Amino acid sequence: MCAKSKRPHLSETETEWDKFWKNFWSGTKPVIESSWCQHGRINQGVKTKITKVINIIISHHNSNFKIGKTGDSYIRTDQKDYRNDYHYMYLLYKSTSKDFVSYLEEYYIAKYLVSQPVLIQNKRVKAPGKKMYSYDGFYYLYLVCAD
């Protein structure tokens, strides 16, 4: 398991003034919603719960969405590509295992590229990604929605 960092997190050191100017120049960050987040070993029950949650979110928003993984949702939503294009980030699954989260990301991207080809914004199942680092010791599977 990845140990929690001892450094102060950006969310603790960023001033309201910094946030204001970031929002002004780069757009507003997506709202992070963690109430749907599942955890535990990957099995059919967990995958079924995650699938149900994704389907509820997709039907509620009925807009473009993207599935991804991150070790720090605050930092991920702070990136320019998410600030301008997405309004909500739903954390779907958390684990101390990068491998579990990576597996689920690939599984759900492949699943929704077939079932929701118009709405899903992921271009391919295995996207070239940077090495994932965790701030709090957890890695997250998420879904971001445009509206």
42-51, 62-71, 129-138, range with the lowest pLDDT? 129-138
Specify if 15 maps to a domain.
no
Specify if 14 maps to a domain.
no
Specify if 24 maps to a domain.
no
Q: Averaged over 86-112, what is the pLDDT?
A: 94
What's the pLDDT score for residue 134? 86
Share of the chain above pLDDT 90, in %: 50
Specify if 1 maps to a domain.
no
Q: How far is CA 28 from the centre of its chain?
A: 16
Query: Residue 145 burial by CB count (10 A; 0-12/13-18/19+): exposed, middle or buried?
Result: buried
What range does the domain containing 87 cover? 29-145
pTM: 0.85
Specify if 121 maps to a domain.
yes
Residue 71 confidence (pLDDT) above 70 = yes
Residue 120 DSSP symbol = B
More confident residue, 16 or 4: 16
- On average, the pLDDT of the chain sits at 86
Of 41, 25, 46, 95, the C-alpha closest to 54 is 46
Residue 49 identity (one-letter amino acid): K
Residue with tokens 């398991």: 1
Give the number of domains in the chain: 1
What's the pLDDT score for residue 59? 94
